[in-house]
Every structure is written in C-alpha cells, then in structure tokens.
C-alpha cells in the first residue's frame, strides 16, 4: 500500500510540474449568475447555465410555489427509491419524456442521469462488432469512452472535415453492417458548429445512423430552443438526438430522442440506464417546467448570440486568438502554466475564468473558455478583453 501511495504522489507531482494538476474549490451560486468563492464575488464565466435559469430566483420561486412541486418534495423528498426498471420510474419522469417526444416531433424520448451516463451507454448498447463508428476527433470524452466500451470498429475523422468522412466511407462502408456517424453540434472547447446539413447528406448517401450530441445546442439555439439541428433545418433527419439538461435547462440529466423501437431497445440494453437509481422526481419536475418555457425564450437566445459575437470582436481587437460561432468563446494561449497564470490574474479582477488544459484539449492548445449566458450584459463583459491581454503580457 505504501508503494502505491508513493507512486500516486509522484504522479501528482508530475501533473503539478506540467501545470495540469486540478483541485476542487467550493463555490456558492448567487442570484443573477455570479458566484462567491472564499468570500469574494465573481462574474461566472466558467459555467454552463446558458439561459441563466438555474440562478433566476424569480423563476425558481414560481417553480417551488406550484403546489404539485411542493407535493413532490413532501411525498418523495429527494429520492426516487430505485432504478427506473424497479420503482424509480416516477410519473413525472414518464410525463417529461412524453413532452420531449412531442417537442421534438419524434416517437419517443428516454431520460438518463447525465450526459456522461448517456454517451457511455448508447454506443455500446446499439453497436456490434459488425459495425463502424465514425466520429469527429474533437468529440467529448463521454463519447470517446462510449466508443471504447463498444465492440464496433472506431475511426476518427479530422475535426469538421466532411471530405474525410466521404473518403473513409467510400473505402470502408461495404465492410460493415451499420455505420454510426457521431458528432457534436457545438463543440465544447472550441465553440464552433458542425455543418449538420452536410452530415445529414452523408448519412443518407451512405446509409448511416446519425448520432448528434446537442449538449451545447439545446435551449440556447434554434427558434424554439430545440438546438442547432432546428436552426439548420434538419431536426427530423437526426436519428439519435442527444440533449443535456445540465446546461441551458439549468438542471441535471440528459435525454435521447429517437424512434420508439430505438428507445425500447435502450431500456433493455443501456447499462447506465438499467443499473442507475432514477433521478429524484423534483429534479425531473424542474426539467418539465423549463421545457414548457423554452419556446418563449427567443429574446434570451438572441441576446446571448449578440454578446458572444461582440466579445469575439473585442478579443480580436486586442490581438487575442479566439474562434467559434457560439456562446462558448475560447481564448487560446498555448502553454498550460502560462494559461494558469493568466486565469489567476484575470480572477484577481473579479472574473471567474478557468484554465482549460490537457488532456481536456490537445497539448499546446491550453486556453481560457469563456462561457456566456443570458443573465450577462455587455457592461459586465466590456473590460474583459483588455484585462486578458494585459494578463498575457505579464505572464
């Protein structure tokens, strides 16, 4: 045991020397989206509450003031009692899935405990050794782990390189029974968007199954908040539509929307679903509450988009390297230690920013990831580009 602990300590020292050591920090969330850390208040630029719903005290008061939600708390507390195949499939969970299916004009929906649970579970459940998974190189870690757990052949195409997909499928397609074409809609670290029209064309041409992770699209994109697939007009062409509830929904959980037979099969085969305790009813009630309001939040979606573009322009005006076309605005720095130093300097000015380092991003591409939400204003953000530029000049 002593040798084991010594070995782990040495590995931690190595991570520390590389500027890649991570630690938890206790955070208190404030109404309006700010956070308090160690007694100091910051503008939170590291969260994923894209519509500002989780910290909207007026909205939360409406939710908790509704009698049926009070009943859920008094009758169930915060537990669902078991996995959904046992006694954890509460009525509110079934209702939420029915509403999701109607919202997306699809046959069925299935709720999971988190996006990670879902992505780790779907590909191993649906694919076999006779299948091919073809995925964007910058897909999220949860998708990568799901691919690793599957028995299918896995190939990764260069980021957003649709010509590469065509070449790979021309060479490989006839060798496999099914091909799963896997992509995010908005990529979580670069903030850039997939060409979903082209992905749909490719999946139809080659007889593939299109698996789209809309974790960063649902709620914040599309006229009705259905995601980038709605915005690009291809919603009905997505075979496996994945959404998360831990971001724009301001809650917890994730869902897949698909044909009824797909959902029924996943109920019987997706291990994270089968072997996890169901989400507490009050959490699912919040998701249902938010879902009904998403179509009415178009003004918030527009405001976030305008703020994001204005911030990108201001960052570039300061000579900073940024990219993307979403409310995720990265500032590329490169070296991990330098990125940590810049983040610390900017935090000193009241902006909570996080240094994103390997293995989350490739070596040499460490960055600040600025995440904007509907509770922010330009007056809050205007000083930030200059502060980042000054911090980089010092590091």
Known active-site residue 213: yes
The token pair that represents 55 in the structure block: 């910290």
Q: Given this model, what pLDDT does residue 36 score?
A: 92
In terms of phi and psi (left: phi > 0; alpha: psi -120 to 50; beta: otherwise), the region of 251 is: beta
Q: Among residues 341, 339, 336, 329, which one has the least CA distance to residue 384?
A: 329
Known active-site residue 159: no
Domain ranges (residues) in the chain: 20-51+298-394, 62-295
Across 322-336, average pLDDT: 96
Tens digits of per-residue pLDDT, 100-128? 999 999 999 999 999 999 999 999 999 99
User: Hey, what CATH topology would domain 62-295 get?
Assistant: 3.40.640
Known active-site residue 97: no
Catalytic residue among 56, 97, 136, 184: 184
Q: Given this model, what pLDDT does residue 51 score?
A: 97
Tens digits of per-residue pLDDT, 196-248? 999 999 999 999 999 999 999 999 999 999 999 999 999 999 999 999 999 99
Cα–Cα distance for residue pair 232/84, rounded to 1 Å: 34
Residues in the chain: 395
pLDDT of 19 above 90: no
Residue 386, phi then psi, degrees to nearest 5: -65, -40
Across 25-29, average pLDDT: 88
Query: Looking at the whole model, is its pTM more than 0.85?
Result: yes
Q: Would you give the DSSP letter of residue 83? A: B
Q: Given this model, what pLDDT does residue 1 score?
A: 65
- DSSP-derived secondary structure for 267-300: HHH-HHHHTSBPPPHHHHHHHHHHHHHGGG-HHH
Cα–Cα distance for residue pair 250/219, rounded to 1 Å: 10
Catalytic residue among 44, 48, 185, 237: 48
Q: Would you give the DSSP letter of residue 235? A: G
Catalytic residue among 44, 119, 127, 140: 140
The token pair that represents 137 in the structure block: 């190189």
pLDDT of 12 above 80: yes
**Residue 71: how many other CB atoms lie within 10 Å:** 13
Indicate the pLDDT class of residue 21, thresholds 50, 70 and 90: confident
Q: Is 60 helix (H, G, I), strand (E, B) or coil?
A: helix
Which residues sit opposite 371 in a β-bridge? 328
Q: Given this model, what pLDDT does residue 48 score?
A: 95
Is-same-fold flag (20-51+298-394; 62-295)?
no
Q: Given this model, what pLDDT does residue 176 score?
A: 98
Q: Given this model, what pLDDT does residue 64 score?
A: 85
Catalytic residue among 49, 247, 345, 375: 247
Cα–Cα distance for residue pair 210/237, rounded to 1 Å: 8
Q: Given this model, what pLDDT does residue 141 score?
A: 95
Cα–Cα distance for residue pair 334/19, rounded to 1 Å: 12
CATH class of 20-51+298-394: alpha beta
Tens digits of per-residue pLDDT, 137-175? 999 999 999 999 999 999 999 999 999 999 999 999 999
Catalytic residue among 117, 203, 216, 288: 216
Q: Among residues 358, 353, 343, 323, which one has the least CA distance to residue 392?
A: 343
Task: Confirm if 80 and 283 have CB atoms less than 8 A apart.
Answer: no
Q: Given this model, what pLDDT does residue 218 score?
A: 98
Cα–Cα distance for residue pair 194/232, rounded to 1 Å: 10
Q: Given this model, what pLDDT does residue 324 score?
A: 95
Task: Confirm if 181 and 210 have CB atoms less than 8 A apart.
Answer: yes
Tens digits of per-residue pLDDT, 59-81? 989 998 887 777 777 776 778 88
Known active-site residue 344: no
Known active-site residue 216: yes
Across 306-333, average pLDDT: 97
Would you tell me the crossing angle of helices 384-394 and 298-317 to the nearest 10 degrees?
A: 40
Q: In which residue are the tokens 């064309």 written?
A: 201
The token pair that represents 113 in the structure block: 């405990």
Catalytic residue among 213, 231, 239, 345: 213
Tens digits of per-residue pLDDT, 365-375? 999 999 999 99
Q: Is 209 helix (H, G, I), strand (E, B) or coil?
A: strand
Position with higher pLDDT, 260 vs 75: 260
Catalytic residue among 44, 188, 326, 336: 188
Known active-site residue 68: no
Q: Among residues 126, 223, 231, 146, which one has the least CA distance to residue 186?
A: 231
Mean model confidence pLDDT for the chain: 95
Task: Confirm if 370 and 376 have CB atoms less than 8 A apart.
Answer: no
Known active-site residue 326: no
Q: Would you give the DSSP letter of residue 185? A: S
């Amino acid at each position: 045991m002593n040798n084991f602990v010594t070995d782990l300590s040495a590995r931690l020292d190595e991570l520390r020397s590389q500027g890649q050591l991570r630690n938890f920090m206790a955070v208190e969330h404030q109404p309006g989206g700010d956070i308090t850390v160690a007694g100091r208040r910051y503008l939170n630029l590291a969260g994923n509450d894209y519509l500002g719903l989780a910290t909207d005290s007026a909205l939360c008061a409406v939710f908790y003031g509704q009698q049926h939600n009070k009943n859920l708390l008094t009758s169930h507390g915060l537990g669902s009692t078991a996995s959904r195949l046992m006694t954890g499939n509460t009525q509110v969970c079934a209702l939420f899935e029915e509403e999701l299916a109607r919202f997306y004009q699809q046959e069925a929906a299935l709720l999971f405990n988190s996006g990670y649970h879902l992505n780790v579970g779907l590909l191993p459940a649906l694919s076999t050794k006779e299948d091919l998974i073809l995925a964007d190189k910058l897909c999220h870690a949860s998708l990568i782990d799901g691919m690793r757990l599957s028995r299918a052949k896995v190939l990764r195409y260069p980021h957003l390189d649709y010509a590469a997909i065509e070449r790979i499928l021309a060479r490989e397609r006839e060798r496999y029974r099914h091909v799963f074409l896997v992509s995010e809609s908005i990529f979580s670290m670069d903030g850039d968007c997939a060409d979903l029209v082209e992905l749909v064309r490719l999946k139809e041409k080659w007889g593939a199954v299109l698996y789209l992770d809309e974790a960063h699209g649902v709620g914040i994109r599309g006229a009705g908040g259905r995601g980038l697939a709605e915005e690009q007009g291809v919603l009905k062409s997505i075979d496996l539509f994945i959404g998360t509830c831990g971001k724009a929904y301001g809650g917890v959980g994730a869902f897949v929307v698909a044909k009824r037979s797909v959902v029924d099969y996943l109920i019987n085969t997706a291990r994270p679903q089968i072997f996890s305790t169901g989400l507490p009813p009050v959490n699912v009630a919040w998701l249902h509450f938010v879902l009904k309001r998403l179509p009415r939040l178009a003004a918030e979606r527009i405001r976030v988009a305008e703020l994001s573009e204005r911030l990108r322009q201001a960052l570039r005006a300061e000579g900073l390297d940024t990219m993307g076309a979403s409310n995720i605005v990265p500032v590329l720095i490169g070296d991990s230690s330098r990125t940590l130093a810049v983040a610390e300097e900017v935090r000193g000015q009241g902006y909570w920013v996080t240094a994103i380092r390997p293995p989350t991003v490739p070596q040499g591409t460490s960055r600040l990831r600025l995440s904007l939400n509907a509770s922010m204003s330009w007056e809050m953000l205007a000083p930030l580009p200059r502060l980042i530029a000054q911090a980089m000049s010092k590091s």
